[in-house]
Structure 1
């Protein structure tokens, strides 16, 4: 069986790590999916993934994808599979069914119909047939229903691969083994281990993080101690192939013993939890390698660690276990004080479902990763334990508000003076325009590569990722100086400052959720009310640079039929509605932004019947022939530069695809209508053939407001009309 298709599932948020891991195991990633990866490869690579994947939940060998538009169609599709290649008549099986549709609304019913088809296919003339086993079946059949299609496969894993076999007991709030491995990879543990660094978990619970770290460093296969895999009683199983992989794993385990000089330690204040951790260490075969003992966080010492550097990694309580969130600030302070006292030069990684308490650690996080602990949104916060990252209390240690240390007061003063100058000039302009959200600073000084936006009495700071030519520590120092002076200079409270790092984005990552505060505020723009969220997403829900375009739409929308493609939070639709548009249609593929756009329109009193917002893949919607009588007088289209969202039918590349998008949009534009097309791809070139087909005028300079004059290439914008229409 060569070049098979596999679906490998994983915890949500780990997909990109899993794709990288699959590539190292001999599988070729095809595409990422929510909580999993599709990949191609030989059966041996599938076996290897079962044995060696530290991140996967399940490895499923794809058999077929069938029509499940009706119950009968699904039954016939399953019946058509040659099950005799996979399951003996005398064997047992189980169907794991997931997903729902309009015709199959119950997973038990779906599993029953798949089971019926398998049994009917294999039933002999004498009535002999396979049996169904709820536990320990000979074969586990995976059936995943999505958008009217059923993916059928053989679950090669059996039980979930996160179950390594060493943890039969659990602490108060167990961390799954594969999620622990993902945290260690994100924290850079493999590189630290290769350099001889040590690892300590000061709140280790049942020891999962420290055990996974040791297995990773010692090259121990995660599946090495598992008693059984799902493929072992599958008729397509190749025992010789599997035996060779097991022998290789044992050889690598013997060679990994040379890394046993590395130090791994776990501490916890609960003696019963430490007892559980110790038994887990023994079952993992790491006795004498991993040390665990009862010790409070404030008593953390690394005297048994000879390394000059290493990783402190922990998953502290974040409310669910303590039930009293008011205890958390002191716990996080103790953690910060301990690592600053005894782990200078190390890295600290904190995985928490309460990232807002990270500030009490007293260090500035240089990286944050969004993950999930089960269904609970969480973040992995990474810190460098050094003076440059250290934060100091504002107005006394009891204030609970921390600010970075300033290492270069003169440079910080120059930055503060620039902010004061901008606040006077741009702030005065914004007040006259009746605008309370605007860009104050945009990398005006090369030393401070920041974009600073004011949203009423909040400040939103975005740090542009420093080029590789800039020393990472120098970049941290400059950001620390900026964050220290911004609140006082702008006259805001430090807890009303939100800081993010802005890197080059791919796909729809700029729209992905990064937090779960749910904190929205309302800002005003030319009489429109708009909801923004400064904390939970990289962008806030309002593209400030498009303010002039929105204002133009508001001034020219009276009586029009308005279409907003890739509508995001619907701000342009709000301006059209406030400007008197007769009706509007706003489309976006994200349900989150569809809800957001509806809320924005409702906030401004727009009729939901006249101003509709619908969830749709704009590429697919535009590709369909326009409905009869469906045309618009004014269309706004501001697509992303690139998108490969799992929700989209195709990959969007704006440079490659803009011509087709514009032609399809023009097919819906009234004879005397206007299309406003914009994008923010810096190297964008408009297709010359479009200028032969339509009347096109670039209006980019007129769409750059006072606060963005320092960055005039932030976007480009065109007005496009049908050729037969003369300019008004």
Structure 2
């Protein structure tokens, strides 16, 4: 083999420029960038050095041959021409990785098969011995890239990807790859800072990837020094003496680096489950005496006790992939900016995020931004100088958090704890939204206090550009974002949402961690009832003298339809001595009211066992159980089979409903006649049936008006908090 060899170094997309600088410094010549890779020329010593020292590459590929490909046969023949006896034995194992398409090859598995066949046919002995395929740890890993009719055939010197340093055997839910973490540190200037004796802190360290990569840079440790198995280990072209020399030199540099005074590197993590995995990873990297990890919340983060010590704060906050993450992430970024401004003056900061819009909410101006990719997700690295002149004026400071409990919400507010002007200055849009919230709160707070209403709607897209609903549940705020129409620029919609979320805690004097947000779109089937999360946190609220459980996080709806409050209270007033039937009962809040009102018996029917369990908890919470029947089943089928009589019936069906348990789909517009006729057949003489639904295009069938006494009571079933939205539901009173 020639002393001058062609090498291709692959890397994550967006790291090409950094890798080019690194590889050039390590000896790669005539190097240039490609997509997610660089190529250049070197000798074997440089190839080994790149394997050992590259912090950014995924793989180091040694190019054996480039040749034209016009079809599968020319691919086979081009690979067959290589003298594979120089690279592996007939008894060796191999793996083939094939990428690209064209020249009649439109399947990578087929392309890999042709490459494997050529290698095997070349090495097959007279006795039939031939290489076998081993995908996990082969003796030789072969790469072939097909690009516009040219095949680039290579062997992989690295083996497993170089980002797998070997120290991180335990990781969190969304870890950064080690080479991406190293790239972030390099872009943030950590190698220079470390050489100057600077400190480093990560306030959200997870399992410590930033910490370990920073430690290895500071201590001059080759990132793959401890790797035992390489792609060249069983390659016949391997030069063990040359490799041993380079490895020994790297070991000496690491020992010298670790003998120097340790850099001050600290990590803090709120999740106690990640502390020990982080410490284990640090210990495996041999950096336990350099790096310390502590459990701690962001709110208490202090990077260093020595006020004269300067350094780098680096972190990778969550990006938000679940329903309702916007609120918690906004406040997280705001608190991160607050801690940087308060505790890290004079430091540098690097925030790596997949939600750069949130970076603008930190109250700091970034002096540099770099585009990165974290897998398929576009991200940005925001660099900050934490200096007074970089502070964004007018950025709010977090309001003092009122004392709250999960089980006993405070009385409804009539006004915020302090005037908005005294608490913060928001963006123009945020200020406008906050003013509207305060105006509504002033009006509705008096009504809520007078009526003893603890949970009510404060805002419902009053201003079209801020298309959210804001509901108060004691000291909690439940925000529903209506999906914007396609005509609205998504970035503008996101900005307005963040403005609204920033305004809510300030305007209402509510702790930011008591704000929950969800997105409400057009619902079909049972989607509105499907689980969105798994926190399982229930909040006890009160209404009309009964106690009810709501869940603000796990489902699109909370378990309590606020607009039906007047109907529930009407049922409570009319239920004394009556047999009550609640169809499509959901969490049976109306049933609890009926029982509270003195119903002789109650029967509640729903298809979902989940909601029937919730209903059972609501009833038990109020001391009702013995005479309260909960029936699981399809309402239409249940009505057809039931032979009971009821003096009071309540029906609040979904617009559409389907289930694997029943055939067909319930459609309230189409099926209303059959539903009401079946229910009226169960209504005792002189009884009353209340029928309500939220389908805005619903029209009551004219035939029902001729058969029954029907009164539209919609206006009478709307409290002041829904007066701005009279189409929230329609309601009728039926008698035989």
TM-score range, shorter chain: 0.5 to 0.7
CA deviation map 1:426-483 (0-9, x unaligned): xxxxxxxxxxxxxxxxxxxxxxxxxxxxxxxxxxxxxxxxxxxxxxxxxxxxxxxxxx
What TM-score does the superposition give when structure 1 sets the normalisation length? 0.55
Aligned to 1:3: 4
Choose the corresponding residue for 2:427, options 386, 401, 404. Answer: 401
Confirm or deny: 8 A CA contact 1:158 1:230 kept in the other structure.
Answer: yes
User: Aligned partners of 1:521, 1:287: CA distance in 2, in Å?
Assistant: 55
Q: Aligned-pair distance for 1:226?
A: 1.2
Aligned to 1:356: 357
User: Aligned partners of 2:133, 2:219: CA distance in 1, in Å?
Assistant: 40
Aligned to 2:201: 200
Within 5 Å, which residues of 2 pair with 1:65-84?
A: 65-84=66-85
User: Aligned partners of 1:249, 1:256: CA distance in 2, in Å?
Assistant: 10
Aligned to 2:58: 57
- When residues 519 and 160 of structure 1 are mapped into structure 2, their CA distance, relative to the original with a 3 A threshold, is farther
Aligned to 1:189: 190
What TM-score does the superposition give when structure 2 sets the normalisation length? 0.54
Confirm or deny: 8 A CA contact 2:366 2:383 kept in the other structure.
Answer: yes
Confirm or deny: 8 A CA contact 1:319 1:328 kept in the other structure.
Answer: yes
Q: Aligned-pair distance for 1:146?
A: 1.2
Q: How many residues align?
A: 415
Within 5 Å, which residues of 2 pair with 1:341-420?
A: 341-393=342-394, 400-401=426-427
Q: Which runs of 5+ in 1 are unaligned?
A: 404-492, 494-517, 523-530, 536-728
**Does 2:310 match 1:309?**
yes
Q: Aligned-pair distance for 1:305?
A: 5.2
User: Aligned partners of 1:273, 1:305: CA distance in 2, in Å?
Assistant: 27
Q: Secondary structure at the match of 2:229?
A: coil
Q: Aligned-pair distance for 1:401?
A: 3.0
Q: Secondary structure at the match of 1:392?
A: coil
- When residues 333 and 534 of structure 1 are mapped into structure 2, their CA distance, relative to the original with a 3 A threshold, is closer
**Greater gyration radius:** 2
User: Aligned partners of 1:301, 1:188: CA distance in 2, in Å?
Assistant: 21
Confirm or deny: 8 A CA contact 2:100 2:147 kept in the other structure.
Answer: yes
Q: Aligned-pair distance for 1:325?
A: 2.1
Confirm or deny: 8 A CA contact 2:69 2:103 kept in the other structure.
Answer: no
User: Aligned partners of 1:294, 1:402: CA distance in 2, in Å?
Assistant: 38
CA deviation map 1:55-93 (0-9, x unaligned): 000000000112222111111101111111001111111
**Does 2:108 match 1:115?**
no
CA deviation map 1:614-666 (0-9, x unaligned): xxxxxxxxxxxxxxxxxxxxxxxxxxxxxxxxxxxxxxxxxxxxxxxxxxxxx
Aligned to 2:265: 264
Q: Aligned-pair distance for 1:132?
A: 1.1
Confirm or deny: 8 A CA contact 1:308 1:345 kept in the other structure.
Answer: no
Q: Secondary structure at the match of 1:349?
A: strand
User: Aligned partners of 1:110, 1:99: CA distance in 2, in Å?
Assistant: 9
Confirm or deny: 8 A CA contact 1:198 1:307 kept in the other structure.
Answer: no
Within 5 Å, which residues of 2 pair with 1:217-232?
A: 217-232=218-233
Q: Aligned-pair distance for 1:260?
A: 3.6
Q: Which runs of 5+ in 2 are unaligned?
A: 396-419, 430-464, 466-483, 494-736
Aligned to 1:238: 239
User: Aligned partners of 1:520, 1:54: CA distance in 2, in Å?
Assistant: 43
Q: Secondary structure at the match of 1:391?
A: coil
- When residues 264 and 188 of structure 1 are mapped into structure 2, their CA distance, relative to the original with a 3 A threshold, is same
Q: Which moved more, 1:318-327 or 1:182-191?
A: 318-327
Q: Aligned-pair distance for 1:45?
A: 0.5
User: Aligned partners of 2:307, 2:367: CA distance in 1, in Å?
Assistant: 26
Q: Which moved more, 1:292-301 or 1:24-33?
A: 24-33
Confirm or deny: 8 A CA contact 2:53 2:223 kept in the other structure.
Answer: yes
Within 5 Å, which residues of 2 pair with 1:265-344?
A: 265-304=266-305, 308-320=309-321, 324-344=325-345
Q: Aligned-pair distance for 1:534?
A: 11
**Does 2:154 match 1:153?**
yes
**Does 2:172 match 1:171?**
yes
- When residues 182 and 520 of structure 1 are mapped into structure 2, their CA distance, relative to the original with a 3 A threshold, is farther
- When residues 276 and 29 of structure 1 are mapped into structure 2, their CA distance, relative to the original with a 3 A threshold, is farther
Q: Aligned-pair distance for 1:283?
A: 0.6
Q: Aligned-pair distance for 1:308?
A: 2.3
Q: CA RMSD in A?
A: 2.6
User: Aligned partners of 1:303, 1:88: CA distance in 2, in Å?
Assistant: 57
User: Aligned partners of 1:402, 1:4: CA distance in 2, in Å?
Assistant: 61
Aligned to 1:25: 26
Q: Aligned-pair distance for 1:358?
A: 0.5
**Does 2:87 match 1:86?**
yes
User: Aligned partners of 1:160, 1:402: CA distance in 2, in Å?
Assistant: 49
Aligned to 2:37: 36
